[in-house]
Amino acid sequence: MIRIINGEVYDPINGINGEVRDIFVDDRSIAAAGAGGTTIDAAGMVVMPGGIDMHCHIAGPKVNIARKMRPEDHRNDVLPRTQFTRSGVGGSIPSTFTTGYRYAAMGYTTAFDAAVPPLAARHAHEELNDTPVVDKGFYTLMGNNEFIMQHIASGEKEIVRNFAAWLLNATKAYSIKLVNPGGVELWKSLGNAHTLDDEVTGFKVTPRQIIQSLADASIELNLPHRVHIHCNNLGIAGNWETTLETMKALEDRQGHLTHIQFHSYGGTPGGLFHSKVVELADYVNSHPNLSVDVGQVMFGDTTSMTGDGPLGYLLYQVTGRKWVNVDVENEEGCGIVPIEYKDKSHVHATQWAIGLEWFLLVKDPWRIALTTDHPNGASFANYPRIIRLLMDRGYRKESMQHVNPKALADTTLPDLDREYSLYEIAIITRAAPARLLGLAKKGHLGVGADADITIYDKNDNKEKMFSVPRYVIKDGQILVEDGHLREDVSGRTFYVTPEYDLEVEKEIRKYFDAYYTVEFENYPVQLEHYLPRREAVMCRDIK
C-alpha cells in the first residue's frame, strides 16, 4: 500500500484538473482508499499518470542495425552498471537496458515500437524483453505486404481481414501499421508511390485501396488501436496534398496519422518547404475520426530509421552519410541514415516550427499525442524541452531567435500565443495516447487503473520539472526517486488476439511454400517463450 497525499493531481480521463487529493495504491493498482504502508507527502508536487509514448523506434531489426552502424553515437554517452542496473550506452539509439531506464527516469512507463516487419517479430520481442521497467508492444507492418496486396486486387476483403488477424496473432503485435503503403513495394525496383492512385507494379492495387482495406480490417477486427498510418511522400515538399488525400480516403473510418509533422509540407518536390499545418489541422479539427502524433523535430544529431525504404535513400542523397537499406521478403523494407538537424537550415527550422504549429493548432488535445518519432525527429530525451516549448510562450519566442528567420516567417508559429496547461500536457502525454491505444488501465489514476504514477516537483522551468521526476511508481512499486532508479523490474508486453477463419491458413501456407524462405510452421512467435510477461488486450466493439 502506498498513499500519495497532498499532491496536485492531473488526471484528465477522470476530469481531475489540479485538485489536491490523495491517491491510494494497493498492490499493482489504484485503490479507492487504504491505510498503512508507505506515505508520500506530495505537497507542492504534481501527480500524473505515467507517461505513454505511442510511437517510437526502440526494438527490432531496424533499430538494431542502426545501433551496429553507429559506434560513434554510443561511445560518448555511456552508462556504467550499478549494483542493480545493467550497463549500456545512450545516444540517439540507446541499448535496450538504457532505453527502459531512461524512459522510466523521465516518468514514462509505457512505450510502443511503431514499425516491426512481421518476419522479424521474434527479434522485436527479444529486444522488448531486454527493455526494462516500461510496459510495451509494437505495431506490425502490413502496408506493403504482397499477400495482402494480391487479395485486395482480387477483391477478397474477407481473406485480407483474416490474414491481418492471422498475422497479428502470429507476430503477437498490437496493431496494424502502414508505412508508405505501396511505395515500399515499388522501392524494391527503385520506384515509389507519389499519389494515392499510383498503381503498385505487379499487384494492380493503389495506396488508396491499401489504406481503405486495412482501415476496414482494423475496425472489423475491433482492434483496440485502429490503423496506424505513415503516409506516402514523407519528407517531400508538397506532400501535404497526399496527407490530406489520405485523411479523406479514410472517410469516416477511424485512423491515426503518425509523425504528421513530416507530412505537412507545401512547396514543390525537391524545393524548399513551407508549412501547410493550418489547412491540415483544420481538417483534423473538423473530423473526430482522425488522430495524430506529431513527430517533433529538435535540433542536433540523431538517426533516421524508417520502414520507408525510398525515404531512407532520399535522406542518404541529401546528407551523403552512411546508409542502410533492408528489403524484407514479401513484406516490407527499411532505411537508416544518421542526420543532424541544424537550426540555421531552412528545411530543418521549418520542420521544427511545423511540429510546434501542430501542437498549437489542433484544438482537441485528445486527438494529438506528443512524440518525436524517436529517434527520427529527435531522441525521446527531448520530451521535457518540448513540454517547455508548449507551456512557456516566452521560452518559445526566445528559442525562435536562434532558428532560421526566413523559415519561421513562412509559418504561423510566431503568431501563436497558446500555452499548454499541465492538464493539457497530461492529456497529450498520458490520457490521449492511452485512449487512442484503447488501454483502459493506462493513462489515468481512477480506481482499478495500473498504478503507474509520476510525481514532479513543481518548477517554473518546465523542462527541469519534467526531466527529473521526484518519484516514479510503476505497477505500484516506487522505482525512481529524484531521477535515480532504485530497482530494476520488467514490464509486460501488450498484444492482441483477434479471431479469424482458420480456413485462411491454407491460402497462407501455399503462399509460404512458394515465396517465403522460412517454413509456415516456424513463422509464428511462440507466446510462452517470447512473451514471458504479457497482457492480451481484448478486441471488442468500442462503439
Partner 1 sequence: MTTLHLKFRSNFPLDTESITPDQFKDKPVSEIARLPALLGNQAGALGDFFTIMDDSSPVITLEGDLGRVKHIGAGMTEGKIVIHGNAGMHLGAGMRGGEITVHGDTGDWAGAEMTGGKIHITGNAGHGLGGAYRGSRHGMNRGLILVEGNAGNETGALMRRGLIVVLGNVADFAGAFMLAGTILVFGKLGARTGAGMKYGTIVTFHQPELLATFHYDCVYRPGFLSLLFKSLRSQGLPVEAGWAAGSFRRYSGDFNTLGKGEVLVYAQDER
Partner 2 sequence: MVFEHAVCAFCGCVCDDIAVTVEDGRITQAKNACVLGKAWFLSHGQPSDLPAARINGHAVSLEAGIDYAASLLSQAHYPIIYGLSSTSCEAQRQAIALSETIGGNLDCCTSVCHGPSGMAVQGVGEPTCTLGEVKNRADLLIYWGSNPAESHPRHMTRYAVTPKGMFIPNGRKDRTVVLIDVRPTPSSRAADILITPKPGKDFELLWALRGLILGNKIEEASLAETGVTLEQLTDLAIRMKKSHFGIIFIGQGLTQSRGKHLNTTAAFMLVRDLNRTNKFALMPMRGHGNVTGIDNVLAWQTGFPFGVNFSKGYPRFNPGEFTIVDVLSRDEADLIMSVASDPIASLPATARKRAAEVPMIAIDTHESETTRRAQVAFIAATAGIGAEGTVYRMDNVPLHMDKILDLPFPSDEELLSRLHTRVKELKS
135-174 positions binding partner 2, by CB under 8 A: 146
* Range in contact with partner 1 (rule: CB under 8 A) among 19-27, 64-72, 163-171, 252-260: 64-72
Q: Decide: is 38 part of the binding site for partner 2 (CB under 8 A).
A: no
Q: CA 190 to CA 20: how far, in whole Å?
A: 59
| Residue 330 DSSP one-character state | T
Q: Decide: is 70 part of the binding site for partner 1 (CB under 8 A).
A: yes
Q: Decide: is 73 part of the binding site for partner 1 (CB under 8 A).
A: yes
- Judged by beta carbon distances under 5 to 8 A according to partner kind, the member of partner 2, partner 1, none in contact with residue 188 is partner 2
State in angstroms the smallest separation of the CB of 117 from partner 2: 9
State in angstroms the smallest separation of the CB of 56 from partner 2: 15
State in angstroms the smallest separation of the CB of 340 from partner 1: 10
* Coil, strand or helix at 339: strand
State in angstroms the smallest separation of the CB of 313 from partner 1: 19
Q: Decide: is 119 part of the binding site for partner 2 (CB under 8 A).
A: yes
* Among candidate residues 331, 250, 237, 222, the one with its CA nearest the CA of residue 276: 237
Q: CA 194 to CA 212: how far, in whole Å?
A: 17
* Range in contact with partner 1 (rule: CB under 8 A) among 70-78, 310-318, 407-415, 479-487: 70-78
SS3 per residue for 112-167: EEEEECHHHHHHHHHHHHCCCCCEEEEEEECCCCHHHHHHHHCCCHHHHHHHHHHH
With contact defined as beta carbons under 8 Å apart, do 7 and 455 qualify? Answer: yes
Q: If residue 192 lies in a helix (H) or strand (E), which one and from where to where?
A: none
113-142 positions binding partner 1, by CB under 8 A: none
With contact defined as beta carbons under 8 Å apart, do 383 and 442 qualify? Answer: no
Q: Decide: is 375 part of the binding site for partner 2 (CB under 8 A).
A: no
Q: Decide: is 67 part of the binding site for partner 1 (CB under 8 A).
A: no
Q: Which of 28, 75, 81, 458 binds partner 1 (CB under 8 A)?
A: 75
Report helix angle 383-391 to 346-361, nearest 10.
60
59-78 positions binding partner 2, by CB under 8 A: 59, 61, 63-65, 67-71, 73-75, 78
How are beta strands 300-306 and 332-341 bridged, if at all?
Answer: antiparallel
Binding marks (x or -) toward partner 2, 330..369, rule CB under 8 A? x-----xx--------------------------------
Binding marks (x or -) toward partner 2, 294..333, rule CB under 8 A? -------------------x--x----xxxxxxxxxx---
Q: Decide: is 522 part of the binding site for partner 2 (CB under 8 A).
A: yes
Number of chain positions touching partner 1 (CB under 8 A):
7
**Phi, then psi, of 459 in degrees rounded to 5:** -160, 135
Q: How far apart are the first and last CA of the chain?
A: 36
Q: Which of 57, 136, 188, 470 binds partner 2 (CB under 8 A)?
A: 188
Q: Decide: is 283 part of the binding site for partner 2 (CB under 8 A).
A: no
- Judged by beta carbon distances under 5 to 8 A according to partner kind, the member of partner 1, partner 2, none in contact with residue 502 is none
Q: Which of 80, 417, 540, 543 binds partner 2 (CB under 8 A)?
A: 80
Task: Name, in order, each residue with C-beta under 8 angstroms of 135's C-beta and a sequence gap of 6 or more.
Answer: 109, 110, 111, 442, 450, 452, 491, 492, 493, 494, 535
State in angstroms the smallest separation of the CB of 532 from partner 2: 11
Number of chain positions touching partner 2 (CB under 8 A):
64
* Among candidate residues 312, 63, 322, 326, the one with its CA nearest the CA of residue 188: 326
With contact defined as beta carbons under 8 Å apart, do 452 and 133 qualify? Answer: no
State in angstroms the smallest separation of the CB of 373 from partner 2: 20
Q: Decide: is 126 part of the binding site for partner 2 (CB under 8 A).
A: yes
Note if the bond before 269 is cis, omega within 30 degrees.
Answer: no
**Phi, then psi, of 273 in degrees rounded to 5:** -90, 155
Task: Name, in order, each residue with C-beta under 8 angstroms of 285's C-beta and a sequence gap of 6 or more.
Answer: 361, 362, 363, 364
364-383 positions binding partner 1, by CB under 8 A: none
Q: Decide: is 69 part of the binding site for partner 1 (CB under 8 A).
A: yes
* Range in contact with partner 1 (rule: CB under 8 A) among 69-77, 172-180, 257-265, 519-527: 69-77
Q: What residue has cell string 483502459? A: 440
* Among candidate residues 195, 186, 170, 196, the one with its CA nearest the CA of residue 116: 170
**Phi, then psi, of 227 in degrees rounded to 5:** -55, 140
Task: Name, in order, each residue with C-beta under 8 angstroms of 108's C-beta and a sequence gap of 6 or more.
Answer: 50, 51, 52, 53, 134, 380, 383, 454
State in angstroms the smallest separation of the CB of 71 from partner 1: 4
Q: CA 458 to CA 482: how far, in whole Å?
A: 13
Binding marks (x or -) toward partner 2, 444..463, rule CB under 8 A? --------------------
Q: Decide: is 71 part of the binding site for partner 1 (CB under 8 A).
A: yes
* Range in contact with partner 1 (rule: CB under 8 A) among 68-76, 286-294, 410-418, 432-440: 68-76
Q: CA 479 to CA 28: how far, in whole Å?
A: 13
State in angstroms the smallest separation of the CB of 80 from partner 1: 11
Binding marks (x or -) toward partner 1, 295..324, rule CB under 8 A? --------------------------x---
State in angstroms the smallest separation of the CB of 146 from partner 2: 7
Closer residue to partner 1 (CB): 321 or 509: 321
Q: Compute the radius of gyration of the chain from its Cα atoms.
A: 22
With contact defined as beta carbons under 8 Å apart, do 327 and 333 qualify? Answer: yes
- Quick count: other Cβ atoms within 10 Å of Cβ 530? 18
Residue numbers at the binding site for partner 1 (CB under 8 A): 69-73, 75, 321
Residue numbers at the binding site for partner 2 (CB under 8 A): 59, 61, 63-65, 67-71, 73-75, 78-81, 86-89, 91, 93-97, 119-120, 122-123, 126-127, 130, 146, 188-190, 202, 313, 316, 321-330, 336-337, 514-519, 521-522, 526, 529-530
